[in-house]
Amino acid sequence: MVADPDLATSLKLILGRSAAPLAEHLGLTTVGQLLAHTPRRYLERGVFTPVSDFVEGDYVTVMGRVESVRQHPHRDRRRSRVEVQISDGGSVPLTLTFFGQAWRSRQFSEGTVGLFAGRAKRFRGRWQLNQPQFEVVDDPDQDVDHLTSRLMPLYPATAKVPTWNIAKAVRTVLDGLRVEDPLGAGLRQRRNLPDLATALRYVHRPEERGEVTDGMRRLKYEEALSLQATLKHRRSQFEGTRAVPRPHTGHISKSLEAGLPFALSPSQQVAGLELNRRLSAEHPMHVLLQGDVGAGKTVVALRAMAQVVDSGGQAVLLAPTEVLAAQHAQVVRRLLGPLAEAGTLLGDERGAEVALLTSSLPEARKREVRASIAAGGADIIIGTHAVLERSVQYHDLGLVVVDEQHRFGVEQRAELVLRDGPRPHLLVMTATPIPRSIAMTVFGDLDVLMLEGRREGPADVETYVVGEWDNNGHIARVWQRAREEVAAGRQVFVVCPRIEEGDREADEESGAALLAGDGARLEPHAVTAVAQQLREGPLSGLELAVLHGRLPPAEKDEIMRRLAAGPADPQGLGVVVSTTVIEVGIDIPTAALMIILDADRFGISQLHQLRGRIGRDGSRAQCMLVTRQPPDSPGRERLGDVASTTDGFKLAQLDLAQRREGDVLGDRQTGRSSKLRWLSVIDDEELIVAAREDVLVDTSEMAASYWNALVISDDDTADFLEKG
């Protein structure tokens, strides 16, 4: 046994052979890592209640032995149940009932001993606990004094390392632990935080709920402080470097603005002036341009790129998909007009060469584009991840524009910016509204620039929820509307959650399979099957094509060209059945109807993005959210939220509340392969704000890297904190 262990002490030196399972199955090798493995919840205990003393409605806790397990299947799996009979050694039996969880029957076997907690209820003269909380006890003869305290911590565990073993290890290391607090006394007092040793005791051995709250608040604050310090360090690195000033004085910028086929909105004008100022400075700008669908971010970005090209530099626009990259290239060339045809007979000789670089280009063409980029011939480069490859050498990279930032990770964002030579300016764009807490947590190293309102877009899109089983006439009307729009010379999108039928992985990624009324499994709608059904049924005789990410690039481009031409063109298209590949960037101004099948399988923000692809010319447009979910289901309610408003920020808040930040941020978004350990960007905005204020004012009392470095076991997370 080590005398006075600290957070860096190896668990082997304290626990001996008992440390091996913790390391093997949970990755915990030091005292700090073990104490950072905090309880996932706490059970209210007190003394165990004998079944014979139950009072209906009381919350009770029982230690008992399983006597039998019975499964009662039902054709509707939600109504199946598992009944577990247990005995606490007395004469009164107790039934545990689990509804819609058939797999629970595999968790229990005759003779299993466990702790069971829930609300006591009488049913047909017998006591039962419905959907009880429980933990299996491997050794019923072990010391259970700690289990009978008022609050019993339950840890994230595995079959090989149950929660009781973790609790025992924690009690061992807490006794005699010596902790050097990484936060100064002044900072703790200012924020009313306990010292670290006290906080750890509150979290792992609480006497009351208030101690848990105080202890977790301290750990969350320190995590927020460490993250904000990292972001501040990253900002200071940017501010300490030099960039080539790119003033707004050139021919391309002036000609572009004079030739735009529309007037810039006031918000676009303000954003343009701000980017102009930042691009003209000697330090690299790092700006997040945020605006709702249709706010006109692409035009603002193009004006910034033109300004850089005028100064002799190159600009790169990084898009997440080849379809979006090709669409951007078309839009940029269209807006630049003759300016994009430099070197051609009809082009402006003082214009800019626009190059498209994607992974699927023929190798010979990629070599040509790379050579042009290296020689400085290509001025505006638009592409996918191919533009990040080290084989692409830039002549004078002045600006990096990242579209749909949430599709890229921190490392990818930095790949171009951190190359040798002067730092290029950075502009990242997102049409996914970002709540304040998210912006401070993930984009704290960027200055946020807002585009208010919409220059064009889905303000007039009427959105309806259509139940596929509610009324067959409603579904028939949906397809009739599609025919009407095509007859009027407008385009229709039909969106499906996956490409082909029978893809079980797609089922698992998009959620639980739907069930028909008779309990049969329902396949999610697939592009290929739906397209065939529409051709043979309600949309027979119309020109219809399928679009998804697996198609060859040339075929995708041809479909987009025909779709843009419209149904009135002999070679044009009126209907495209697609996956979410059309979610961002697709610009077909006259598209007027979107039909989203299995709409409940998509997130709120994703539905809002999809809806933003229609009505872009300001004309009346409609979005049909088709679902097979029953009217009172959460999925149906979520669709109702989308139909009720086109306010992207309101929908983003709803999306964040429902999906939690792990899904909204995403692993790639944060640059970390694990989620925040304790901090919740939804619930802990106050702590994030406080930590940000403290870091910006003074960090002399903070050494958060000491504690955090000890509790981090994931290499990518460590890199995130160390490299910034």
- pLDDT digits 0-9 by tens, 267-294: 899 999 999 999 999 888 889 888 877 7
What's residue 621's pLDDT? 92
What's residue 343's pLDDT? 59
Q: Where are the beta strands (DSSP E) in 216-358?
A: 286-291, 314-318, 354-357
Query: Across residues 157-175, what is the average pLDDT?
Result: 84
pLDDT, greater one: 102 or 276: 276
What's residue 346's pLDDT? 58
What's residue 259's pLDDT? 85
In this predicted structure, the answer to whether residue 635 has a pLDDT above a threshold of 60 is yes
DSSP string, 474-514: HHHHHHHHHHHHHHTT-EEEEE-SBSSTT-HHHHHHH-SPE
- The closest alpha carbon to 551, from 382, 317, 321, belongs to 321
In this predicted structure, the answer to whether residue 515 has a pLDDT above a threshold of 60 is no
What's residue 479's pLDDT? 93
In this predicted structure, the answer to whether residue 347 has a pLDDT above a threshold of 70 is no
- The closest alpha carbon to 611, from 480, 453, 457, 456, belongs to 457
Domains of the chain by residue range: 46-148, 251-280+296-430, 458-646
Query: Across residues 139-156, what is the average pLDDT?
Result: 62
What's residue 344's pLDDT? 62
Using DSSP's 3-state secondary structure scheme, residue 249 falls into coil
Separation CA 505–CA 496 (nearest Å): 15
What's residue 137's pLDDT? 66
CB atoms near residue 334 (< 10 Å): 11
- The closest alpha carbon to 501, from 521, 517, 471, 485, belongs to 521
pLDDT, greater one: 461 or 720: 461
What's residue 300's pLDDT? 93
Separation CA 501–CA 507 (nearest Å): 10
Using DSSP's 3-state secondary structure scheme, residue 349 falls into coil
* Topology, domain 458-646: Rossmann fold (3.40.50)
Using DSSP's 3-state secondary structure scheme, residue 426 falls into strand
Query: Across residues 465-493, what is the average pLDDT?
Result: 86
pLDDT-derived band at 354 (thresholds 50, 70, 90) equals very high
CA angle 80, 82, 83 (to 5 degrees): 135
Would you state the structure tokens that stand for residue 622, as one six-digit string?
A: 């409609």
CA angle 104, 107, 108 (to 5 degrees): 105
In this predicted structure, the answer to whether residue 157 has a pLDDT above a threshold of 50 is yes
Of 120-129, 197-206, 519-528, which one has max mean pLDDT? 197-206
Same fold, 251-280+296-430 and 458-646: yes
* Topology, domain 251-280+296-430: Rossmann fold (3.40.50)
- Whether 84 contacts 69, CB under 8 Å: yes
- The closest alpha carbon to 224, from 213, 236, 232, belongs to 232
- pLDDT digits 0-9 by tens, 607-619: 888 888 888 777 8
pLDDT, greater one: 407 or 169: 169
- The closest alpha carbon to 388, from 320, 335, 480, belongs to 320
- pLDDT digits 0-9 by tens, 38-55: 998 887 655 567 888 888
What's residue 482's pLDDT? 95
pLDDT, greater one: 180 or 411: 180
pLDDT-derived band at 545 (thresholds 50, 70, 90) equals very high
Across 235-239, 252-256, 655-659, least confident range: 655-659
- The closest alpha carbon to 428, from 440, 410, 455, belongs to 410
Query: Across residues 16-34, what is the average pLDDT?
Result: 93
Across 257-266, 383-392, 615-624, 702-711, least confident range: 702-711
What's residue 676's pLDDT? 72
In this predicted structure, the answer to whether residue 430 has a pLDDT above a threshold of 60 is yes
Alpha-carbon Rg for the chain in angstroms:
30
Distances (CA, A) of 134 to 37, 113, 171, 466: 20, 10, 21, 41
Separation CA 488–CA 486 (nearest Å): 5
Query: Across residues 476-483, what is the average pLDDT?
Result: 92
> What is the four-CA torsion angle of 612, 615, 621, 623, rounded to 10 degrees?
-20
CATH architecture of 46-148: Beta Barrel (2.40)
What's residue 254's pLDDT? 86
- Whether 301 contacts 427, CB under 8 Å: yes
Separation CA 90–CA 84 (nearest Å): 16
What's residue 629's pLDDT? 86
In this predicted structure, the answer to whether residue 672 has a pLDDT above a threshold of 60 is no
In this predicted structure, the answer to whether residue 666 has a pLDDT above a threshold of 60 is no
* Helix segments in 104-250, DSSP class H: 163-174, 185-190, 196-204, 209-239
pLDDT-derived band at 320 (thresholds 50, 70, 90) equals confident
Query: Across residues 677-693, what is the average pLDDT?
Result: 83
pLDDT, greater one: 303 or 666: 303
Of 3-7, 219-223, 239-243, 562-566, which one has max mean pLDDT? 219-223
What's residue 610's pLDDT? 87
- Whether 246 contacts 279, CB under 8 Å: yes
pLDDT-derived band at 720 (thresholds 50, 70, 90) equals very low
Strand order in the sheet with 461-467: 461-467, 621-627, 591-596, 491-495, 575-578, 544-547
Average pLDDT, whole number, for the chain? 80
